[in-house]
Structure formats: structure tokens, C-alpha cells
């Protein structure tokens, strides 16, 4: 029988419908706040056990265009593959719920979240997270806890919990935190650069009897300090606890009867573990030293095969390999906790050797090869105009937007020595690229209005490739002469703990990421943090320990930034390939004159001067891109002649019908430009060439033409046959 549960969180009414829709799923929740509706449904397959050593959970989040009264754009009028926002939202939910699953759980489990209706101001990620958390809590899975997510920002000094999208856009930062009533599970933080307007009266100056005011626009990069972040996380923790308790109290009477799931069959590893410790421990320690140089575990497999062969138990290879990995984990963690030494011999707070090379690629606008230990990122920056920007639209957006700073992260299999084909970007690649982008985005000078794309190719990986991307991308932008207000560096931190004893690790490698209890990534400048991402494996972290880890990360970040500043001071720019830009403004209503009928005028300008043009109809801004500064200036003069009738450069006037001898200066697909007077060219369109083709003429050839019409510099010609 269906039922309706109402609750109030953060002064907002929510309604959950249970047992009304998707009733064949194990659990389903129709979640509604205002006009935003989410459907979350969880299913699992108890008939088939997944034997691989991972939690078989898949989270999928999808948005339907009908949720905002739209039909999908494009040729195919149905939703296609999930967009980046949908993928990143699914990752947030997955990373928040996965820690609840025990390691011995083996049922294939799917959690689907659908956005069915959406308010323009609704935060769909928070809605999806809480709908999914309620769905899992109500399910028959015995380990389900109530998880809750909150978004926090700060506007004009005031902390706002679960802001509207407009409030979030005006905020200093974007913090998304999930957890249970007892512990935090996931943190995502990003600073947001903001313009601040200051109005200063000008003393002793009056205009129409009123004081003159001077408006000053200041830009703040809005890094956050470690102490500030901890205080805001305390606020998040309070609201998560409150929200989780409200949901729990409202839903506890509707929770399904819990199942006794079949645990993965675990073979007793004790005899093999004992054997390895007695006979092979020294050899395994040597292997661990080699493992510290790579994310691959082929050496462990070779070692396990050797033991299996010696015992005559080749059929038990997988079991012996598990025992080897268990002993390896004990050794790695024991060295860290009790000896203060890591597998590669480093101290707990020691960073691997760093090398930096800039502008290795002679034809790229800017490039940087950043190597830290066995992690290597090649970042390449490319500058462009508005036409190069990524057009996108989120479900709640009223109109399309332009993404003018893009950062794409690629992780080919050869980076870890594996033999796999290249494929489309994975969820992990999208997530890592998004994190690196958020670390750098607030640091780009807002006066710089070009489009920039950075591609990070991970050429080698042994942990922390996303943070290597932050470092490499910052320097690649510098190498492309993109005005960064500050450089950003990133570092990956880890933790190992047993009971009350713990150790915080700086610059973790793959081995420590796998065998540790927590990893988080911190990026920022000398002045503070611009982006952070944390996932907790052990089921919570004390904020005092997190604060200590953030302080340790700050020292590491400063160390890396010093090396980056040194590298930036030695950059040799690829001047020959860097784009040149000439910007100026005209009256916005004159932009249509530059475009011309059906784009005729702007096409002629592009062809005549060999440049590209961006036009902003709202502001009247004109941007000319090219390689030849002289041609760019000529194009500017030509455009000003088109729009500034009162300031027209001197040009001969030709009577229609006048026959002249001219020189072909340039051939273009739609005709030829013919010089009929010094520095004066007219267009001989292909339709006015008496049936002849462009192949019948050569640049520099003299021909006779007749003037058909003239409007300033725009002169239309026709071919005259002898």
C-alpha cells in the first residue's frame, strides 16, 4: 500500500511517496521538493554472486528533457548518453554510498536516479543524493545507513546551507559534503572567483549638483584557509547529522525487512599467510620496493605463481595471490605506522623528486611536462576565440552557455604498463579533469576573454595523476601566455590508521592509495585552497586529524609551488605559433553592419585579411585573431570604416560602370580580390566572371574589371573581357 511521508529540512518542505511507483524494485522513492521530482530505485540480483574482489555497485543518474518542458535538441529527438553533469552526479552518489557496502557483499546492485521534474533554482545534485540515500535506507540491504548530503556556500560573508543556484553562483565557494549522522563520507570543495564592486566618491567634483562617484571593480580569487575550511565542515557536519536524523525518524517505520545476504565464499588464508611469513617474507619485502615504482601488480602474481608451483598447488593460484596481498598490506601499513618509513624509503611527509619542462611541443601554444616520481603529466594549452568555446546547457538552464575554459584529462592504459586500447573518457577521467579544472579556474584573469582548452595526457602513473595535472596545466597556461593571477599546485594525501594510532602521508603512490584508509587531494596557491576532494574508506574521520592533514598538505603545496615558480620564470614562449588578438569596441547596433546580409561582409573581411573574427552583439566588442599584426590592423581599419561613416578613411570614389585595370591580389573560394587603386581592393565574385573558373587566373595577374557598385571600401566588380 502506498504512503506519503512529509518532512521539513532547512525550512523546505519535502514529500516522499513510497510503494506508489516502481514497485518491482527492491525499494523506490518518489522524492519531491517544490516542483523538483526525483525517482530513485534500487535493485540487486541475489541469484548470481560476483566473485571478483570489488563492490558490484553501479549508480546511474539520468535527466529527462521533459522535466523542464523541453524536447531534446539535435537531430535525434531522444536522450542520448549521459552528459558530464549526469556522470559527475552519479560519481558523487556512488562515492557517498559505496563505503557502506561490506567487502564480502557480492550481489550485482544497481541504483538508478531519474530527474523527472526540475525547478530552475533547484540543486539537482543534492536532490539526487538525498533521494538515492533514502532509497537505499529503505531497501532490504542489512548494512544500509541513512546518508545525507548538503551544499554550502558563502555570500557577502553569510554561510548558506543548500543555497539556490542563483545564491551558489554568487558564492565565494562551492562545498558539497555527505555523511551519516556519525561521520563524514565525502567532501568536494571548489573556490569561485568573484568580482567585487567598490564605489568611491570623488572629492570636490560635482556633476549636475551631485557628487561624482568612481566605480572600481576588484576580482577576488577566493582561496580558503585550512582553518576556515574546518570551521565550515563543522557546520556541514551539524546539518548532515540533523538531516540524517530527520529522514531516519520519518522513514524508520517503512524500512523493508532485511535480508541475510550470502557472503562471498572466503577460503581460509591462514596456512598460506603463515607460510609466506616464515619462508618468503624477505623476498616479498623486496617485491614491495619494486611495487612502489608502479601501480601494476604483475610482480605479486609472479611471486604467487612461484609459491603455488613450489607447493604443487597451481590450481589454488588465486587463493595464494590473496594471501600474498594480505601479507603485503600488513607489511606496508606496519612500516608506515611503526617504523615511520614508506615502501619506497621516503619519510611520511616527503615528496618524490620533481622535474618540470615547458614548451616541449614547438607547434603547441603552451605545454608542460610535469614529473613527480613515477607520475607524469603532459599538459597542452590551446587558445582560441568564442567560436571555439564549448556550448552546453544544464537541465535547469534557460539558455545555452559557453564554457570558455576547458580541461580534459586522459589516462591511457600504457601509463600503468597495461595493454588496452584507447577508448572514450571514463567516469574517473571526467572526475579527475573536473577537479583539476576547478582548482585553476578562479585563478584566470577575468579580463582575459579568450577560449582556452587544456589537455592533460597522463604518460605515467603511480598515484596522484590528477594533482600532477593541476601543476602541469598551470604551467602550460603560463607557457601559452594565458594570464594566471597565481599558479596552482596539487598534492594527494593519505592516511593509515589502527585504533588510535594513525599516520598522515604526503604525495601518496598507488600502493599506499590501495592499502590506506583514506585519500584526499588538495590544490591551491600560496594563499590557500582552491579545490579539494576527499573519500573516506574507514568510515569517518575526526576533523582534528583532517586539519593536521590539511596543514601537512599546505607545506607540500608550498614546496611544489616554489619549483613551479622557478620553472615559470624560465619559460621560452612559442612566439611564432601563439595567436595574436586585437580587441576594440563599436556601438552594439553596428555589429549587424559588420556581419552584413547573410554574413556577406564578415566573410569578405575574413577572406581579404586572412584573419578570424569574434563579434559580441551585446557589448559591441570585436576581437580579431590572426598571425600577421599588419593584416590585423588593416582589418580593424576596414571594420571601423564600415561602421564609422563620419570617420571614413579617404578612398577614391568610382562611378558605377567605370572600367579599370587591376591586379589579382588573392583568390578565395567565392571569388577574387582585385586591387584597382593603391591599397584599394574590390571583390570580383565568382558569379561575375563570365563563366570562367578560379583556375583560369593566377595571383598577380592583371585583368580588366568594371565597377558595379561601391559603399566605402566595399566595391563590387565584374570581369571585362578584351
d(CA 412, CA 429): 10
pLDDT at 438: 97
Kindly state whether residues 400 and 451 are assigned to the same domain: yes
pLDDT at 653: 82
- 8 A C-beta contact, residue 294 and residue 510: yes
Least Cα distance to 197 among 214, 211, 213, 218 occurs for 218
Distance, CA of 377 to chain centre = 16
**444 occurs within a structural domain:** yes
**239 occurs within a structural domain:** yes
**367 occurs within a structural domain:** yes
**546 occurs within a structural domain:** yes
10 Å Cβ neighbour count for 43? 17
pLDDT at 693: 86
Distance, CA of 576 to chain centre = 30
Kindly state whether residues 70 and 153 are assigned to the same domain: yes
pTM (two decimals): 0.82
- 8 A C-beta contact, residue 187 and residue 234: no
- Give the three-state DSSP class for 608: helix
Kindly state whether residues 235 and 304 are assigned to the same domain: no
10 Å Cβ neighbour count for 701? 12
**50 occurs within a structural domain:** yes
Kindly state whether residues 29 and 143 are assigned to the same domain: yes
Number of domains in the chain: 5
Which parts of the chain sit beneath pLDDT 50? Answer: 205-206, 646-649
- Give the three-state DSSP class for 134: helix
Kindly state whether residues 303 and 447 are assigned to the same domain: no
Kindly state whether residues 313 and 375 are assigned to the same domain: no
pLDDT at 648: 45
pLDDT at 6: 94
Kindly state whether residues 592 and 456 are assigned to the same domain: no
d(CA 716, CA 431): 54
> Quick one: CA dihedral 105, 106, 107, 113, positive or negative?
positive
- Beta-ladder partners of 150: 177
Kindly state whether residues 368 and 327 are assigned to the same domain: no
Q: Which of 568, 593, 613 is the last residue of a domain?
A: 568
Residue 593: CATH number of its domain: 3.30.1370.10
Kindly state whether residues 114 and 146 are assigned to the same domain: yes
Kindly state whether residues 389 and 521 are assigned to the same domain: yes
- 8 A C-beta contact, residue 463 and residue 492: yes
**211 occurs within a structural domain:** no
Q: What average pLDDT does the chain have?
A: 89
Kindly state whether residues 239 and 286 are assigned to the same domain: no
Residue 22: CATH number of its domain: 3.30.230.70
**614 occurs within a structural domain:** yes
Q: Which of 339, 373, 393 is the last residue of a domain?
A: 339
pLDDT at 208: 53
d(CA 321, CA 305): 8
d(CA 548, CA 536): 16
Cell reading at 344: 619506497
Least Cα distance to 153 among 132, 169, 139, 133 occurs for 169
pLDDT at 669: 80
d(CA 464, CA 519): 10
Q: Could you give the angle at the alpha carbon of 498 between the alpha carbons of 495 and 499, nearest 5°?
A: 120
**105 occurs within a structural domain:** yes
pLDDT at 617: 83
Kindly state whether residues 409 and 557 are assigned to the same domain: yes
- 8 A C-beta contact, residue 3 and residue 18: yes
d(CA 211, CA 197): 18
Domain enclosing residue 694, as ranges: 659-720
Amino acid at each position: 500500500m502506498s504512503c506519503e511521508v512529509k518532512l521539513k529540512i532547512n525550512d523546505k518542505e519535502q514529500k516522499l511517496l513510497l510503494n506508489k511507483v516502481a514497485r518491482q524494485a527492491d525499494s523506490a522513492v518518489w522524492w519531491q521538493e517544490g516542483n523538483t521530482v526525483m525517482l530513485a530505485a534500487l535493485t540487486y540480483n541475489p541469484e548470481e554472486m560476483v566473485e571478483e574482489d570489488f563492490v558490484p555497485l553501479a549508480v546511474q543518474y539520468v535527466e529527462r528533457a521533459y522535466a523542464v518542458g523541453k524536447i531534446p535538441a539535435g537531430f535525434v529527438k531522444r536522450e542520448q548518453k549521459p552528459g558530464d553533469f549526469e556522470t559527475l552526479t552519479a560519481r558523487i552518489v556512488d562515492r557517498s554510498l559505496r563505503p557502506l557496502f561490506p567487502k564480502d557483499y557480492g550481489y550485482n546492485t544497481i541504483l538508478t536516479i531519474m530527474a523527472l521534474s526540475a525547478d530552475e533554482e533547484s540543486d539537482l545534485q543534492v536532490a539526487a543524493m538525498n533521494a538515492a540515500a533514502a532509497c537505499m535506507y529503505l531497501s532490504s540491504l542489512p548494512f544500509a545507513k541513512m546518508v545525507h548530503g548538503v551544499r554550502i556556500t558563502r555570500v557577502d560573508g553569510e554561510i548558506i546551507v543548500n543555497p539556490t543556484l542563483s545564491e551558489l553562483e554568487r558564492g565565494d565557494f562551492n562545498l558539497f559534503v555527505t555523511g551519516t549522522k556519525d561521520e563524514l563520507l565525502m567532501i568536494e570543495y571548489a573556490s569561485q572567483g568573484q568580482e567585487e564592486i567598490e564605489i568611491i566618491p570623488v572629492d570636490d567634483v560635482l556633476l549636475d549638483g551631485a557628487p561624482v562617484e568612481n566605480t572600481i571593480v576588484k576580482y577576488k580569487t577566493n582561496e580558503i584557509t585550512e582553518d576556515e575550511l574546518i570551521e565550515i565542515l563543522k557546520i556541514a557536519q551539524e546539518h548532515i547529522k540533523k538531516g540524517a536524523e530527520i529522514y531516519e525518524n520519518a522513514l524508520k517505520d517503512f524500512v523493508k525487512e532485511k535480508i541475510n545476504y550470502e557472503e562471498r565464499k572466503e577460503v581460509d588464508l591462514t596456512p598460506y599467510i603463515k607460510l609466506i611469513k616464515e619462508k618468503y617474507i624477505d623476498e616479498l619485502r623486496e617485491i614491495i620496493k619494486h611495487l612502489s615504482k608502479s601501480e601494476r601488480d604483475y610482480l605479486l602474481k609472479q611471486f604467487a605463481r612461484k609459491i603455488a608451483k613450489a607447493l604443487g598447488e597451481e590450481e589454488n593460484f588465486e587463493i595464494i595471490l590473496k594471501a600474498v596481498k594480505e601479507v603485503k598490506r600488513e607489511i606496508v601499513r606496519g612500516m608506515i605506522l611503526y617504523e615511520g618509513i614508506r615502501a619506497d624509503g621516503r619519510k611520511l611527509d616527503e615528496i618524490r623528486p620533481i622535474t618540470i619542462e615547458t614548451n616541449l611541443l614547438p607547434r603547441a601554444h603552451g605545454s608542460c611536462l610535469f614529473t613527480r616520481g613515477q607520475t607524469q603529466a603532459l599538459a597542452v594549452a590551446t587558445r582560441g576565440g568564442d567560436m571555439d568555446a564549448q556550448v552546453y546547457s544544464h537541465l535547469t538552464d534557460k539558455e545555452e552557455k559557453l564554457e570558455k575554459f576547458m580541461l580534459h584529462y586522459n589516462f591511457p592504459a600504457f601509463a600503468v604498463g597495461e595493454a588496452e586500447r584507447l577508448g572514450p573518457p571514463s567516469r574517473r577521467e571526467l572526475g579527475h579533469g573536473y577537479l583539476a579544472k576547478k582548482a585553476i579556474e578562479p585563478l584566470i584573469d577575468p579580463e582575459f576573454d579568450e577560449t582556452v582548452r587544456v589537455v592533460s595526457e597522463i604518460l605515467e602513473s603511480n598515484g596522484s595523476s590528477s594533482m600532477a595535472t593541476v601543476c602541469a596545466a598551470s604551467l602550460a597556461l603560463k607557457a601559452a601566455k594565458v594570464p594566471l593571477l597565481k599558479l596552482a599546485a596539487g598534492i594527494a594525501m593519505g592516511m593509515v590508521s589502527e585504533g588510535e594510532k594513525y599516520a598522515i602521508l604526503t604525495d601518496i603512490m598507488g600502493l599506499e592509495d590501495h592499502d590506506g584508509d583514506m585519500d584526499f587531494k588538495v590544490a591551491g596557491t600560496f594563499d590557500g585552497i582552491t579545490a579539494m576532494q576527499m573519500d573516506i574508506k574507514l568510515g569517518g574521520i575526526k576533523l582534528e586529524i583532517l586539519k593536521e592533514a590539511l596543514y601537512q598538505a599546505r607545506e607540500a603545496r608550498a614546496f611544489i609551488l616554489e619549483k613551479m615558480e622557478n620553472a615559470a620564470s624560465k619559460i621560452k614562449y612559442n612566439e611564432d605559433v601563439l595567436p595574436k588578438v586585437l580587441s576594440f569596441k563599436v556601438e552594439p547596433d553596428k555589429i549587424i553592419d559588420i556581419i552584413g546580409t547573410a554574413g556577406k561582409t564578415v566573410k569578405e573581411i575574413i577572406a581579404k585579411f586572412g584573419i578570424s573574427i569574434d563579434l559580441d552583439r551585446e557589448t559591441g566588442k570585436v576581437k580579431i585573431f590572426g598571425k600577421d599584426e599588419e593584416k590585423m590592423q588593416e582589418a580593424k581599419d576596414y571594420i571601423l570604416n564600415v561602421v564609422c561613416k563620419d570617420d571614413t578613411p579617404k578612398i577614391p570614389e568610382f562611378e558605377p560602370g567605370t572600367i579599370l585595370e587591376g591586379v589579382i591580389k588573392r583568390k578565395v573560394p567565392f571569388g577574387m580580390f582585385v586591387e584597382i587603386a593603391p591599397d584599394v581592393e574590390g571583390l570580383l565574385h565568382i558569379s561575375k566572371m563570365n563563366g570562367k573558373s578560379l583556375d583560369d587566373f593566377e595571383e598577380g595577374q592583371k585583368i580588366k574589371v568594371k565597377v558595379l557598385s561601391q559603399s566605402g571600401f566595399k566595391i563590387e566588380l565584374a570581369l571585362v573581357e578584351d
